Amino acid sequence: MNQEHVSFLALCDLRGVGFETLRRVYAERLRFSSFFDPQERLRLSNEDTLRTKFSRILEVLNTEAARDEALRAGRRKLEYFEQRGIHLIFRNDDLYPKRLSDLQDPPHWLFVEGRIDALQCSAVAAIGSRKVSADGKWLATYFGYCLKDLNVVTVSGLAEGIDQIVHRASLAAGLPTVAVLGTGILLNYPKGSETLREEIVEGGGCIVTEYLPNDSFSARNFVRRNRIQAALGHVVFPIEWGIKSGTAHTVKFASDINRPIVYARTPMQALQDWIPSNLLHNSIRITLPQAHSEFLKFIRDGLSAEPAQKSLF
């Protein structure tokens, strides 16, 4: 059993120790197992800066009995994850999706339920509003009809509205889809998404998050989540969104890391021009279905912009 994984999961469950604290541990290039090793604990306790940063962990694990109990809990959690098919991968692991390294602030670890290799395939991140208009639903459905032709993994956020339409369209096309959560892997959010989650895993896709297993949702978590969606896609397709929406954060992250972006609209929306000039780099603005050929070509060109990943299909 991997000691670093056990130690990380043990720290996840400590009262008063959360996501930001564990990010600091990784940023300091410390091993999570350091807090359970007598010599390493002594070093941490003797260095003023590290002792201050990680005082809570050192305080909670101040006895051998407390450390042993925490490690037992970590082993139980890892055994449960292995039974359920949940994987924990760190940033230096071979299975870590390399596209995330394009981010200024890549996740230091990921929890992945389902097939990890779905994260390595050519992908389109297709996201949008929870409150779907008739035009937005049409565009999402239209994209779904193109999926078999594109033969591509989709990345979205499992939210009601556009995201769930995209996930279900992939499943209907017999293609894997990736759901990036803004919560911990053990939280079922939004309510009622449990069946869709199961179908995504059974369909060869995966559920992925950087948050600790029992972390709840927050507006800040969803904003951070959006950078992972943008980076996992070779191409980003914001289907329905507003300038101040959550999807706008994904678009901004995609623009910052130079992902090709498809801005599509229906003929009923064709007179609207809602895209800020700073987000027009490496993008295309089209009206569907009139520009169907341009739509597919732009996506295919974006998918081939880096060496092809091994296909699942």
Q: pLDDT per residue over 209-263, tens digit each? A: 999 999 999 999 999 999 999 999 999 999 988 877 889 999 999 999 999 999 9
Over 70: is that where the pLDDT of 270 sits? Answer: no
The rounded distance, in Å, linking the Cα atoms of 77 and 89 is 15
What is the arithmetic mean of pLDDT over 262-290?
84
pLDDT in tens, 63-85: 999 999 999 999 999 999 999 99
pLDDT score of 271: 58
| Helix spans in the chain (H) | 3-12, 19-27, 38-46, 48-53, 55-60, 64-84, 134-150, 162-172, 194-202, 219-232, 246-256, 292-303
Tokens at 136, concatenated: 């937005």
pLDDT in tens, 148-175: 999 999 999 999 999 999 999 999 999 9
Over 90: is that where the pLDDT of 307 sits? Answer: no
pLDDT score of 309: 43
Over 70: is that where the pLDDT of 311 sits? Answer: no
The pTM assigned to this predicted structure is: 0.94
Amino acid at 258: N
How large a percentage of the chain has pLDDT more than 90? 89
pLDDT in tens, 108-160: 999 999 999 999 999 999 999 999 999 999 999 999 999 999 999 999 999 99
Confidence of residue 273 (pLDDT cuts 50, 70, 90): low
Show Cβ contacts of residue 64 under 8 Å, excluding neighbours closer than 6 positions: none
